[in-house]
C-alpha cells in the first residue's frame, strides 16, 4: 500500500480497517475495509488486487485495475480498466468509464432507486421457492418407468388441490399505485426496526409507522405521525428522512 503522510488508519466498531488520507492512495494488496477515503486525491486499486469496502470516497478518480466490491463509491469519476471487475451497489460520480473487457455490476444512483426496485419485486422474490417446490413433484413422476406412467395421472388427479394456501394470503397491493416517496419511507422504517441500537419503545413506534404505511392508512398516518416521531429520542438519519418524506405527502 502506498499512502501519503498524514494518513489516518483506525478500526471501526465492526472491526474493519478504515483509511483516510489527504492525498493519492494506491492499494497493492487485497483486503477488507470499512471506509477508504482520499480527501483531495485519487484511489487506485492495482491489478490482481481484490478490495472489499463499505464506503469508498475520493475527491478525484477511483481507478480500478483489479477487483472492487463496495456498497457505495463517491468520486468525481470511476474508471474501470480493461481487466477490472467492480460490484458497486451505489455510486455518486460525474463520469463513468468502463474498459472493453471490464465488468460493472450494480451501479444504482441512490438508495431510493435501489429500495424501490427491490420493493416492486418483493412479492415475486417471496414466491420463488414455493414455485420450485410445486414443480418438483411432477418431475419425479415423469422420471418413473414407462409401465408406471399410466397410473401416475390417476394419483395426481385424486390428490386434493394445494392452491387453498393462496386464498389465505391477501393479494399484494399494486405498487405502481403507491406513492414512491411513502414506499421509500416504509422501506427505511422497516430497515430501522431491524437494528439493535434502539429501545423497545422506539421499536414499537417504528413498527406502528411502518404498519400504517403498509396498510396505506394515510388518514390515520397523517393524524399521528408527528406525535409518534416526537417520541423517538435519538432518531437516526434514515428515520429523519422517513419523517420528511411522510410530512411532504400526508402532512
Check the CA dihedral 128-133-136-137 and report its sign.
negative
Buried b (16+ CB within 10 A) or exposed e, 166-198: eeeeeeeeeeeebebbbbbbbbbbbbbeeeeeb
Whole-Å CA distances, 94 to 38, 48, 59, 99: 17, 26, 11, 17
3 state DSSP class of 237: helix
Tell me what pLDDT residue 234 has.
85
Report DSSP state, residue 173: P
Give start and end residues of each alpha helix (H) in the chain: 111-120, 122-142, 146-149, 152-158, 165-168, 180-193, 200-214, 218-230, 237-250
Model pTM score: 0.51
pLDDT in tens, the chain (251 residues): 676 677 888 886 667 788 999 989 999 999 889 899 999 999 999 999 999 998 999 999 999 999 999 988 999 999 999 889 999 888 888 998 998 888 888 777 777 777 766 666 655 555 554 434 444 444 444 444 444 444 444 444 455 555 554 444 444 444 344 567 788 888 888 888 877 678 888 989 999 998 998 888 888 999 999 999 999 988 888 898 889 889 988 87
Distance CA(106)–CA(98), nearest Å, equals 13
Q: What is the DSSP string of 192-228?
A: HHT-SSS-HHHHHHHHHHHHHHHTT-HHHHHHHHHHH
- Residue 13 Cα to chain centre, angstroms: 21
Quick one: cell of 188? 427505511
Amino acid at each position: 500500500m502506498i499512502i501519503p503522510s498524514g494518513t489516518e488508519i483506525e478500526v471501526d466498531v465492526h472491526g474493519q480497517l478504515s483509511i483516510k488520507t489527504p492525498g493519492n492512495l494506491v492499494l497493492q494488496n487485497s483486503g477488507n475495509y470499512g471506509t477508504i477515503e482520499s480527501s483531495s486525491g485519487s484511489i487506485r486499486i492495482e491489478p490482481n488486487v481484490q478490495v472489499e469496502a463499505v464506503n469508498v470516497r475520493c475527491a478525484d478518480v477511483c481507478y480500478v485495475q483489479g477487483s472492487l466490491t463496495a456498497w457505495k463509491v463517491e468520486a468525481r469519476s470511476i474508471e474501470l480498466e480493461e481487466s477490472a471487475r467492480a460490484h458497486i451497489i451505489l455510486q455518486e460520480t460525474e463520469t463513468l468509464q468502463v474498459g472493453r473487457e471490464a465488468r460493472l455490476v450494480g451501479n444504482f444512483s441512490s438508495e431510493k432507486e435501489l429500495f424501490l426496485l427491490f420493493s416492486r419485486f418483493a412479492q415475486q422474490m417471496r414466491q420463488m421457492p414455493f414455485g420450485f417446490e410445486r414443480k418438483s413433484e411432477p418431475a419425479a413422476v415423469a422420471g418413473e418407468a414407462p409401465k408406471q406412467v399410466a397410473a401416475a395421472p390417476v394419483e395426481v388427479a385424486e390428490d386434493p388441490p394445494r392452491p387453498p394456501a393462496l386464498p389465505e394470503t391477501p393479494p399484494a397491493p399494486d405498487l405502481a399505485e403507491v406513492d414512491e416517496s411513502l414506499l421509500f419511507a416504509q422501506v427505511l422504517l422497516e430497515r430501522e426496526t431491524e437494528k439493535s441500537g434502539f429501545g423497545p419503545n422506539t421499536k414499537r413506534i417504528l413498527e406502528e409507522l411502518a404498519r400504517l404505511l403498509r396498510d396505506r392508512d394515510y388518514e390515520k398516518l397523517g393524524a399521528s405521525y408527528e406525535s409518534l416521531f416526537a417520541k423517538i429520542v435519538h432518531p437516526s438519519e434514515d428515520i429523519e428522512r422517513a419523517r420528511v418524506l411522510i410530512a411532504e405527502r400526508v402532512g
